[in-house]
Amino acid sequence: MADEQKGKNASNRQDDVNRETLTTRQGRPVMDNQNMRTIGNRGPATLENYHFLEKISHFDREEVPERIVHARGSGAFGYFETYGKVGDEPVEKYTRAKVFSGAGKKTPLMVRFSTVAGGKDSPETDRDPRGFAVKMYTEDGNWDLVGNNLKIFFIRDAMKFPDMIHAFKPDPASNVPNPERMFDFVSRSPEATHMITFLFSPWGIPATYRHMQGSGVNTYKWVNDKGEAVLVKYHWEPKQGIRNLTQDEANEIQAKNVAHATQDLYESIERGEYPEWELFVQIMEDGYHPELDFDPLDDTKLWPEDKFPWLPVGRMVLDQNPKDYHAEIEQAAFGTGVLVDGMDFSDDKMLIGRTFSYSDTQRYRVGSNYLQVPVNAPKTTVRTNQHRGQLDHRNPQEAGDNEHINYEPSMIGGHKEAEEPHPQHEPTYHAAAMSAPIDRPNNYGQAGETYRSFEDWERDELIDNLSDALAICDERIQTAMIKHFTQADEDYGRRVKEGIEKKRKELQEMSKEDRVPGREAGQSKFGQGSISANEAADDAVKKGHDADPY
């Protein structure tokens, strides 16, 4: 029998003659990857099972901590091709960033798309903003444009960000998602009214990653070779068109596939149908702009296109899928502070808060040397005195002409500072330091404009989705949200109020039939989650089929 088995193994090895040999992580060929080393074929196992112990211990550690936000994601590689102009003007008028100069020049890049609040394996049909993060490997180093599909955000001050995410995450006690938590926070944050209007409309569920817009959301600056600066906002427009889903359509897709957007992106590139986006910018002179009824640095606001037109600057094409999702997509690390010469920060409070947080998150998640991971490393030469830490594998040549000098300045070796070929942009401030809100919040104006701009079916979907989510919330939260919507548009508030009342009557009828679990006094009596989530939990018990033990 043993000889017969050896013959089969030899035959199999002969059939696989063209395949590469499996090795350990130390490079030693693996002779047996099926069986542990044991005393006799039934065991016990021996302690010197080195190949098994190395294999299983690495397996135990092969995931890095998932992102606190944007955990569920997908991505691809491609290039950005610049037009060399901003609209009809030379790009150099506004910025000296080389990535935009020279019509037809292509810069390699990678993109990671994501959802925001859900975990790593959450459905891609969730009603949630989508992350749209682009890393360009420019000739002057990396440039990260980190944004979302929607062009605005819930809050305008980064101080509120941890609380916002906590409110949007599942209940910390039960771990059950509960829309009451989100609306409890939003009801006390009127600046979120505009974003909620977009999120609960069909714009809150993009059909795929290929068919959604992208935006830098925050306001940045462009700086030219004279040191002159303008404010700028970035917008990605999909050449494939924009497609959104209703809640019912999303539910149908989710029942079949929780990773439909990842699959769609991957397979479209495999087919050679390369997704493409055109990059537009809006430009504004830096300043207070008293003619506007909002602060231009407020990221809960849109810049009106009639005053600040969209100007095309280039296009992005994704034509290559990752070869290793973990190495190239999961470990991809972005930061809003990753800019190149010719770009600068505006005073956008969310931008400043994100700039520290994003890169700090990557140091925690991937490690202090996350920038040495190939997908994060710039294509240009790196020479830095920031070194050591876990998994430091920088090229020794980075040490320069004297490996003994790891500091600057020095008289005897090491690196030197670069010469400044252009005047620096030097904004000047004359104000007291304080913790205070902006003086032009205008929390409802654009929310009302957005509501009125929707098509009838989009408004119907918005009202139905909001009514469904708010119906299970505390009455105080309902009252506050109705007030916010009414201040945005009277019809908006009235329809939400009527929708909540209708949903609550339906819930009361369901409760009489014992279809919805109850809650303790002082909280919603209609369950923790949304109406459909509560029904699903109840149906799982009622529709489950009895089975005998085996």
CA distance 229 to 208: 36
Cβ-Cβ contacts under 8 Å for 485 (sequence gap 6 or more): 193, 447, 466, 492, 493, 496
Please state, in angstroms and rounded to a whole number, the distance separating the CA atoms of residues 378 and 422: 23
What lies within 8 Å, CB to CB, of 154 at 6+ separation is: 164, 186, 189, 191, 192, 195, 196, 300
In sequence order, the 6+-apart residues with CB closer than 8 A to the CB of 312 are 83, 87, 278, 279, 280
Q: CB neighbours of 369 closer than 8 A, spacing ≥ 6?
A: 389, 390, 391, 392, 393, 394
Q: What is the dihedral angle through the alpha carbons of 242, 499, 471, 116, rounded to the nearest 10 degrees?
A: 10
Q: In this structure, which amino acid lies at residue 524?
A: S
Q: Is 297 exposed, middle or buried (0-12, 13-18, 19+ CB in 10 A)?
A: buried
Residue written as token pair 């070796």: 413
Q: Determine the distance from the C-alpha atom of residue 377 to the mean position of all C-alpha atoms in its chain, rounded to a whole number.
A: 20
CB 494 within 8 A of CB 451: no
Q: Hey, which residues are catalytic here?
A: 70, 148
Burial class (CB in 10 A: 0-12, 13-18, 19+), 56: exposed
End-to-end CA distance of the chain: 35
Helices (H), 374-473: 445-453, 456-470
The total of other beta-carbon atoms located within 10 Å of residue 354's CB is: 21
Find all residues with CB under 8 Å of 388, minimum gap 6, and list them. Answer: none
The CA distance from 138 to 222, in Å, is 16
Which amino acid would we find at residue 53?
A: L
Closest-CA residue to 99 (of 147, 146, 141, 148): 141
Asked whether 231 and 221 are in contact (CB, 8 A), the reply is yes
CA 244 to CA 64: how far, in whole Å? 32
* Exposure string for 256-283, b = 16+ CB within 10 A, e = fewer: eebebbbebbbebbeeeebbbbbbbbbb
Q: Is residue 219 a contact partner of residue 231, using CB atoms and an 8 Å limit? A: yes
User: Are the CB atoms for 315 and 80 separated by under 8 Å?
Assistant: yes
The closest of 326, 155, 133, 332 to 236, measured between CA atoms, is: 133
Task: Report the distance separating Cα 280 and Cα 83, nearest Å.
Answer: 11
Q: What distance separates the 2 farthest-apart alpha carbons in the chain?
A: 91
